[in-house]
Chains A and B, each alone.
Chain A
Amino acid sequence: MEILMSVLVGILFTAGTYLVLAKSLLRIVLGTSILGHGALLLLLTMGGIKTGAPPLLGLESTTYTDPLPQALILTAIVINFGTLGVFLVIAYRSYQELGTDDMEELRGTEDE
């Protein structure tokens, strides 16, 4: 299972990186979202995915899944969402102001 997950994470990272290197601002936003997912899954995998009960003490089980990576991931999801939101709005605003989402045109400033 860990091997499968590692490969999946690798695929997500490949796709995310490829999109981040694209010319269109939109694809870059999508790419960061995918990279975020890759990171979440990586965290979970690295925490160890040995089968056990969900980390709820009421279940009267002997083994539980590690709760710490889950807490970390939960924090990460929320922060990811926050930054993605800002990023999207910046993309939207820059398109509105500058009239393009092509990264090759969004280059340098006159003050340079």
Chain B
Amino acid sequence: MSWLHFFILLPLLFAIIIPILYKKIPKIHTGWFVVIVPLSIFVYLLTFVPMIAGGETAMYTLPWIPGFNIDVSFYVDGLGLVFGLIISGIGTLVVLYSIYYLSKWREALHNFYVYLMLFMTAMLGVVFSNNLIVLYLFWELTSISSFLLIAYWYARRQSRYGAQKAMLITIFGGFAMLAAIIMLGIMGDTFSIRELFAQGDQLVQHELFIPAMILLLIGAFTKSAQFPFHIWLPDAMEAPTPISAYLHSATMVKAGIYVVARFTPFFGGTMEWFWLVTGVGLLTLLWGSLLAVKQRDLKALLAFSTVSQLGFIMSLLGMGSAALYYGEGELAHLHAMAVLAAVFHLVNHATFKGSLFMVVGIVDHETGTRDTRKLGGLLSIMPISFTLALIGSLSMAGLPPFNGFLSKELFFTGTLNASSLDIFRMETYGFLIPVIAWVASVFTFIYSIILVFKTFFGKYQPERLEKEAHEAPWGMLVPPAILALLVVMIFFLPNVLSDYILEPMVASILPALAGQFDFHIEAWHGFEPELFMTIGIVVVGTILYLTLRKWMGLYNNLPRALTITNAYNSGLRGMESISRKITDAHMTGFSRDYLRYIFVIFVLIVGTHLFMMDAFSFETANVANINLFEIILSLVLIGATAMVVITRSRLAAVICVGVLGYVVALFFVVLRAPDLALTQLAIETVTVALFLVCFYHLPRLRKKEDGDGFNIPNFIIASAVGILVTLVALSANGHRIFPPISDFYLDAYELAGAANMVNAILADFRALDTLLEIFVLCIAGLGVYTLVKVRLARGEKNENQ
């Protein structure tokens, strides 16, 4: 147990006392206590920065299940640390923001902060875990706590729908990832990421390499809302805004990015990884940016923009993985720029998207709506919020002097480098990458502008707002202001960030290049193609924004039925109705049908098994002779049996069953079993008497008209059962492998003092059977007594009446 363990588990431990604080100290907003937790984690994690910047890493292990190679080992390197800093840093700001956002009086704050703390531990666990099983554990905990947070206002139908959707999709991905983890465990015979990566070179040839890669990517794509799994993210916007800002822009949706980045040293450098990650990333980037433009709800717009930006980062990680193909050298360095752009944008996105969500939350909180059609003209009323929104949006659009500009320039550099690749069949399709990236960036520009202009410019429409708009309290403005300050600071001082944060991150994604690079991020790098691309974006984007009304209608031409959400909904409904149909089809409620299944399956399994094993063989050498007496008995037996089946009189049926029983007793006599014959005679008599007593109260046997006549399917099934039993009996008879052990009982007199061997067995050698058989009789007797005597409430009432 190290300090790192303590700080990662601190939110979890703190979650236990949150409800107590909420109940005992109702005067102080619970958030004030909670804010200490992420802040202390942030400060603690900052102490690692010098060590990480120096190129060192640290590992802390706590054994958990050593027998299965599972231990809670936390590994600190550039990648994990930056994620940890983002989680705890933005976590602090979000808690601070939520103190002002959520009312102390109206909201169930204890639930909120407990879920939030659960999530924080889960997320920290994901990014620091070195053990894959532990990683998966925390991974699912993020899904669960996210589910709880989305449905925080559980009385709303949309919240529940969004939570369920997010749960189903991310858990689906989680299971895929678990499968991948198990495959990796099989491949490398270890669950430790470090040990696995050490064997990376040998495992590329393993047959499970590609399946594990695909399953792992499904897990990462579902969590990071990549196409076509992005559909849960817009619906997750039903969560309170602090949650949207924290989980669905800065942290949880980046868990998939983290996993892709973490496994790049292992899977990267192969064509499949390059194309899957880059392709899905670019598709998500384009699709998200196209759809974001059409949204009228500010949070939905931000949700699609998050989807799009996550695709941006993902595609860069894919492009950067080409560096691993080259290993070392100039080309590797060239493509490592893409990885730098990815991690750089990851940090940038966390800052500006977090602040944008908070600003939207402020607008929502102070006006009562997030609908762009109702908003407008808030510029003079909420000047600080406007400034923050402008900084965030322009950074998102990729304009100077904000950090988004730098990472977007690097992105274009990455795409241009990638398009000039001559591996992985890039010479054919490579030119597409910068084109898609550029188009998506134009749309990114448009929706960023929409966000600011539709909200803060135009006409103020107080009559359409639920509240009179006014500026937010300072407590709500400080967290986004800090993030906005970071946005600007990173632009002016990118290399400080680069030296301390980004280079260790790139080093952990591309370990082969560790210590060999010295990136220098420049805002101005001359008249390069990237600059012209940015100018093009601004020009085309402005033109398109001004003509927005003219082409907005194009979106309506897209049929609703073709959307992915529609496919998801109808798929879910379809699965429900199909499973309902399947169940209804075979679960009829008739015991006769179930008995048919049982008999048919019995015949099929036993019959086909014997047939396949070629076990039907008949041995006639050892059979005993038949005498006339036995033939007569057999005929009577057959006759009586037939009568039971055929007769429509219950008395005849009972008598025939009695005859049957007595014939069986006679068979026992013939086959030299005197005890059996005695018992059988006595019991048969009692049974027939019982039948007669009972049948007096029962209705007649069914008549033919009642539909219980000769039934062909039943007869076929019954015949099959009978024939099969006969065949099994005959086959078994010929295959007596060992002599019976009954010679032992010949000594019954010496051993047990009994001349009757059967009785000696029953009462001496195998007396336990007899004891339990007595119990059976006792229980049966008690059962009969209870059934007859005890009447349930309903019966009693009837009797009293």
List A residues at the B interface (Cβ < 8 Å): 1-27, 29-30, 33-34, 37-38, 40-42, 44-58, 64-68, 70-71, 73-75, 77-79, 81-86, 88-93, 95-97, 101-104, 106-108
User: A91–B788 Cα gap in the complex (Å)?
Assistant: 11
Task: Quote the shortest CB–CB distance from B394 to chain A (angstroms).
Answer: 62
List B residues at the A interface (Cβ < 8 Å): 589-592, 595-596, 599, 620, 622-626, 630-631, 634, 637-638, 641-642, 644-645, 650, 653-654, 657, 660-661, 664, 667-668, 671-676, 679-680, 683, 686-687, 690-691, 694-695, 697-699, 701-702, 706-708, 711, 714-715, 717-719, 721-723, 725-726, 729-730, 732-733, 736, 740-742, 745-746, 748-749, 755-758, 760-762, 766, 769-770, 773, 776-777, 779-781, 783-784, 787-788, 795
Query: B698 to A17, Cβ gap below 8 A?
Result: no
Query: B687 to A74, Cβ gap below 8 A?
Result: no
User: A103–B592 Cα gap in the complex (Å)?
Assistant: 8
Of all chain A residues, which has the CB nearest B637? A8
User: A66–B534 Cα gap in the complex (Å)?
Assistant: 98
User: A46–B609 Cα gap in the complex (Å)?
Assistant: 20
User: A55–B756 Cα gap in the complex (Å)?
Assistant: 6
A37 with B660, Cβ < 8 A, contacts A8-B637, A44-B673, A90-B787 known: yes
Of all chain B residues, which has the CB nearest A50? B624
Which one of A4, A17, A89, A103 contacts B721 once the chains associate, using CB atoms below 8 Å?
A17
Of all chain B residues, which has the CB nearest A81? B683
A42 with B641, Cβ < 8 A, contacts A17-B718, A101-B698 known: no
Query: A23 to B645, Cβ gap below 8 A?
Result: no
Which one of B644, B687, B762 contacts A71 once the chains associate, using CB atoms below 8 Å?
B762
Query: A37 to B766, Cβ gap below 8 A?
Result: no
Which one of A41, A78, A85, A106 contacts B784 once the chains associate, using CB atoms below 8 Å?
A85
A6 with B730, Cβ < 8 A, contacts A34-B641, A49-B671 known: yes
Task: Quote the shortest CB–CB distance from A52 to chain B (angstroms).
Answer: 7
Query: B761 to A68, Cβ gap below 8 A?
Result: yes
Query: A23 to B746, Cβ gap below 8 A?
Result: no
A33 with B672, Cβ < 8 A, contacts A17-B717, A75-B769 known: no
A4 with B630, Cβ < 8 A, contacts A18-B718, A78-B776, A92-B697 known: yes
User: A104–B769 Cα gap in the complex (Å)?
Assistant: 38
Task: Quote the shortest CB–CB distance from A106 to chain B (angstroms).
Answer: 8
A14 with B697, Cβ < 8 A, contacts A1-B624, A74-B676, A104-B590 known: no
Contact residues in A for B595 (Cβ distance below 8 Å): 20-21
Task: Quote the shortest CB–CB distance from B755 to chain A (angstroms).
Answer: 4
Task: List 17 A–B pairs whose Cβ atoms lie within 8 Å, in order of A's numbering.
Answer: A2-B623, A2-B733, A4-B626, A10-B729, A14-B718, A15-B722, A20-B595, A23-B702, A33-B687, A46-B729, A46-B733, A67-B760, A70-B676, A75-B770, A79-B773, A79-B777, A85-B780
Contact residues in B for A30 (Cβ distance below 8 Å): 644, 653-654, 657
Per DSSP, chain A at the interface is: helix
User: A77–B631 Cα gap in the complex (Å)?
Assistant: 24
User: A81–B679 Cα gap in the complex (Å)?
Assistant: 11
Contact residues in A for B660 (Cβ distance below 8 Å): 34, 37
Which one of B622, B671, B719 contacts A44 once the chains associate, using CB atoms below 8 Å?
B671
Task: Quote the shortest CB–CB distance from B800 to chain A (angstroms).
Answer: 16
Pairs A-B, 8 closest by C-beta atoms: A14-B722, A10-B726, A82-B780, A18-B718, A67-B757, A17-B718, A55-B757, A6-B729
Task: Quote the shortest CB–CB distance from B797 to chain A (angstroms).
Answer: 13
Query: B733 to A37, Cβ gap below 8 A?
Result: no
User: A74–B691 Cα gap in the complex (Å)?
Assistant: 21
Contact residues in A for B599 (Cβ distance below 8 Å): 17, 21
Query: B590 to A67, Cβ gap below 8 A?
Result: no
User: A11–B683 Cα gap in the complex (Å)?
Assistant: 22
Contact residues in A for B671 (Cβ distance below 8 Å): 44, 49, 65
Query: B623 to A3, Cβ gap below 8 A?
Result: yes
User: A52–B749 Cα gap in the complex (Å)?
Assistant: 19
User: A41–B653 Cα gap in the complex (Å)?
Assistant: 21
A73 with B777, Cβ < 8 A, contacts A18-B645, A42-B729 known: no
Which one of A3, A71, A90 contacts B766 once the chains associate, using CB atoms below 8 Å?
A71
Contact residues in B for A8 (Cβ distance below 8 Å): 634, 637-638
User: A89–B784 Cα gap in the complex (Å)?
Assistant: 6
Contact residues in B for A77 (Cβ distance below 8 Å): 676, 679-680, 683
Query: A38 to B725, Cβ gap below 8 A?
Result: yes
User: A53–B687 Cα gap in the complex (Å)?
Assistant: 30
Contact residues in A for B637 (Cβ distance below 8 Å): 8, 11-12
Contact residues in B for A1 (Cβ distance below 8 Å): 623-626, 630
Extra inter-chain contacts (12) besides given A17-B721, A74-B762, A77-B679, CB under 8 Å: A4-B630, A11-B722, A18-B714, A23-B707, A30-B654, A54-B672, A57-B756, A58-B755, A66-B742, A85-B687, A89-B694, A90-B787
Of all chain A residues, which has the CB nearest B599? A17
Which one of A17, A37, A73 contacts B676 once the chains associate, using CB atoms below 8 Å?
A73
Query: A75 to B589, Cβ gap below 8 A?
Result: no
Which one of A45, A70, A82, A103 contacts B590 once the chains associate, using CB atoms below 8 Å?
A103
